[in-house]
């Protein structure tokens, strides 16, 4: 079989199954024929119409004339060798697989997609939810900030004002709390909110305002037992006590322990005036001991424990100095107020009524 005949009949016929039309010999149709694909070469190598040496020479010439549509890789080279490709054919394919050929294949330019930031529109509900989470974790300032943003979006929401008032009470910002509760009650008068404002007014020692708010809470909700009990407590504490006959209480001065005296050179030292004697607990000298206000608000805030109040009485048993020195800060004012409302008998020291100091302990227990 001649070389030309194989080119025209064997190879052309074998590759025709892929739709390739060869117009005569490869060399004669170089200008009009297309490049060879890997499939073209593999089909021709598997053809039974020519010996393998002849097929390799014909395909090598065709590759040189036409070029190829693929790039030679180690995997493709191995596949060609397995199918019967000789070195002459593989070298021809390798020559056509050059960096220049690869560079000519331009990849489409892919522009990165424009990433637009996701903008979350702040809403009243989102600020309320965020505030609740902050307050639950104890971050009261952040919670108040979020509640303020919520109120800016919806100024007439009474609950938001009430929540901000409660957070300010925990921070002991009572005036701010009163302002918010005034707004909440103005928008929507509720019995619970009158009761809450009454408790804040008690913190500020505004007894008349507290009584008025407790009464209003009971008018709106007669079943509000907390408001009923608080109203009775205030009225009882402010009731004028019956005249009590005051009997002086004698306190024996402490016995002086014998001490050894060492002779020393007299030195002139300024005399320091002695303070009033400390008689310890003053409960025994009380003719009427008032109880401190322990509100439901204090209990809900978790305020409990012992409060120690240092007290100074004059010669008539009148309270002249009061200062809570230990205990929860939120309860100290109530303890001091209870001491000021209490009555004490004169304390006798060395046979005469004397100015004395002592202390009183109040124990606030959350039921």
Q: In the predicted model, what is the mean pLDDT of residues 333-347?
A: 92
CA atoms within 13 A on the CB side of 356: 25
- pLDDT of 82-97, one tens digit each? 989 999 999 999 998 8
* Residue-level pLDDT at 232: 85
Query: Which residue, 269, 264, 261, 199, is CA-closest to 234?
Result: 199
Q: In the predicted model, what is the mean pLDDT of residues 280-297?
A: 88
Identify how many contiguous H helices and E strands the chain contains and give both numbers.
16, 9
CA gap 337, 322 in Å, rounded:
9
For the cut 80, the answer to whether the pLDDT of residue 246 exceeds it is no
Query: Do the strands 356-364 and 305-313 form a parallel or antiparallel pair, or are they unpaired?
Result: antiparallel
State whether the Cα torsion 85-86-91-96 is positive or negative.
Answer: negative
For the cut 80, the answer to whether the pLDDT of residue 293 exceeds it is yes
Lowest mean pLDDT among 12-21, 162-171, 212-221, 280-289: 12-21
- For residues 86 and 45, is the Cβ–Cβ distance under 8 A? no
* Residue-level pLDDT at 248: 54
CA gap 363, 360 in Å, rounded:
10
Q: Output 267 or 325, whichever has higher pLDDT.
A: 325
For the cut 80, the answer to whether the pLDDT of residue 335 exceeds it is yes
For the cut 50, the answer to whether the pLDDT of residue 188 exceeds it is yes
Q: Would you state the structure tokens that stand for residue 302, as one six-digit string? A: 């978790």
CA gap 267, 228 in Å, rounded:
68
Q: Output 231 or 312, whichever has higher pLDDT.
A: 312
Q: Which helix (H) or strand (E) holds 155?
A: none
For the cut 50, the answer to whether the pLDDT of residue 260 exceeds it is no
β-bridge partners, 360 = 309
Q: Where are the beta strands (DSSP E) in the chain?
A: 249-251, 278-281, 286-288, 305-313, 319-326, 343-344, 347-349, 352-354, 356-364
For the cut 90, the answer to whether the pLDDT of residue 18 exceeds it is no
Q: Would you state the structure tokens that stand for residue 249, as one six-digit string? A: 């209480």
- For residues 327 and 309, is the Cβ–Cβ distance under 8 A? no
* Residue-level pLDDT at 270: 52
For the cut 60, the answer to whether the pLDDT of residue 357 exceeds it is yes
- Helix crossing, 174-187 with 158-170: angle to 10°? 160
- For residues 123 and 153, is the Cβ–Cβ distance under 8 A? yes
Q: What is the mean pLDDT of the chain?
A: 80
For the cut 70, the answer to whether the pLDDT of residue 20 exceeds it is no
- For residues 41 and 76, is the Cβ–Cβ distance under 8 A? no
For the cut 60, the answer to whether the pLDDT of residue 266 exceeds it is no
For the cut 90, the answer to whether the pLDDT of residue 275 exceeds it is no
* Residue-level pLDDT at 90: 92
Q: Quote the percentage of the chain above a pLDDT of 90.
A: 53
* Residue-level pLDDT at 227: 87
Q: Output 90 or 235, whichever has higher pLDDT.
A: 90
Q: In the predicted model, what is the mean pLDDT of residues 314-327?
A: 94
pTM of structure: 0.43
- pLDDT of 33-83, one tens digit each? 689 999 999 999 988 878 899 999 999 999 999 999 999 999 999 999 998
Lowest mean pLDDT among 84-88, 177-181, 185-189, 225-229: 225-229
């Amino acid at each position: 079989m001649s070389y030309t005949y194989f080119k025209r009949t064997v190879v052309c016929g074998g590759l025709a199954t892929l739709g390739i039309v060869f117009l005569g010999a490869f060399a004669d149709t170089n200008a009009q024929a297309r490049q060879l694909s890997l499939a073209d070469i593999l089909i021709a190598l598997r053809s039974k119409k020519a010996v393998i040496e002849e097929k390799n020479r014909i395909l090598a010439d065709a590759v040189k004339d036409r070029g190829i549509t693929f790039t030679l890789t180690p995997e493709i080279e191995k596949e060609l060798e397995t199918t019967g490709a000789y070195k002459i054919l593989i070298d021809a394919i390798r020559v056509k697989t050059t960096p220049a050929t690869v560079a000519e294949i331009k990849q489409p330019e892919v522009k990165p997609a424009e990433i637009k930031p996701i903008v979350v529109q702040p809403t009243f509900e989102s600020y309320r939810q965020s505030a609740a989470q902050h307050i639950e974790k104890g971050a009261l300032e952040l919670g108040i900030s979020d509640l303020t943003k919520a109120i800016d979006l919806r100024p007439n929401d009474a609950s938001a004002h009430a929540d901000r008032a409660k957070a300010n009470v925990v921070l002991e910002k009572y005036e701010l709390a009163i302002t918010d509760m005034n707004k909440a009650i103005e928008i929507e008068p509720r019995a619970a909110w009158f009761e809450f404002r009454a408790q804040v007014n008690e913190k500020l020692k505004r007894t008349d305002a507290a009584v008025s708010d407790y009464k209003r809470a009971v008018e709106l909700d007669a079943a509000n037992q907390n408001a009923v009990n608080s109203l009775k407590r205030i009225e009882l504490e402010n009731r004028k006590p019956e005249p009590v006959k005051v009997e002086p209480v004698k306190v024996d001065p402490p016995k002086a322990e014998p001490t050894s005296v060492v002779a020393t050179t007299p030195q002139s030292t300024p005399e320091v005036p002695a303070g009033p004697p400390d008689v310890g607990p003053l409960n025994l000298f009380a003719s009427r001991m008032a109880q401190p206000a322990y509100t439901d608000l204090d209990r809900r805030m978790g305020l409990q424990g012992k409060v120690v109040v240092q007290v100074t009485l004059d010669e008539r048993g009148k309270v002249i100095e009061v200062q809570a020195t230990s205990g929860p800060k939120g309860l100290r004012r109530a303890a001091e107020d209870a001491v000021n409302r209490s009555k004490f008998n004169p304390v006798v020291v060395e046979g005469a009524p004397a100015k004395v100091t002592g202390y009183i302990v109040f124990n606030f227990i959350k039921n």
